[in-house]
Amino acid sequence: MLMATLGNLAWSLSARANFNGKLIVEIDGLQNKQGQVCASIFSSSQGFPSDRKRVLQRQCTQISETPLKLTFDNLKAGSYAVAAIQDLNSDGTLNRNSLGMPVEPYGFSRNPEVRTSAPKFGDAAFILAGPNTIIQIQMRKL
């Protein structure tokens, strides 16, 4: 009986680890509907938050409502971090001033405090462990 229970538990955990989940990212704090919002999902610290070659999934959409919701499908269970920008001029990048500081609104999963540089992956990482995960990102501007 114990072996059957342990076998069922192991199968359940294995099945859960192999699912494809959905991530809903709610973007709030947009000051206007100008431009588009782009959000990028990373599955490791490599490249986070701005290396497009390391992005797992990326989505850009015109701002139609606030909070804006973006849905990412087919994500395996695991640790992820999201970086988002309000791309005011729709050029697909986070524009910066001559000092390298962002001039467009930005935000990260888990809303870590940003001081002199972008947060580390671990500061923005969250666990996707169910079929539907919802996170909120509060956009900010320097």
Number of folded domains in the chain? Answer: 1
What would the pLDDT profile of 15-26 be if each residue is shown by its tens digit?
455 779 999 999
Residue 55 inside a domain? The answer is yes
**Mean pLDDT, all residues of the chain:** 90
Residue 78, strand partner residues:
128
Residues of the chain above pLDDT 90, percent: 80
Residue 11 inside a domain? The answer is no
What would the pLDDT profile of 69-106 be if each residue is shown by its tens digit?
999 999 999 999 999 999 999 999 999 999 999 999 99
Residue 1 inside a domain? The answer is no
CATH number, domain of 36, equals: 2.60.40
Local confidence band at 116 (pLDDT 50, 70, 90 cut-offs): confident
The single-letter DSSP state of residue 9 is H
Residue 41 inside a domain? The answer is yes
What are the DSSP E strand ranges found in 29-77? 36-42, 57-62, 68-76
Residue 14 inside a domain? The answer is no
Residue 63 inside a domain? The answer is yes
Residue 47 inside a domain? The answer is yes
Residue 60 inside a domain? The answer is yes
CB neighbours of 100 closer than 8 A, spacing ≥ 6?
none
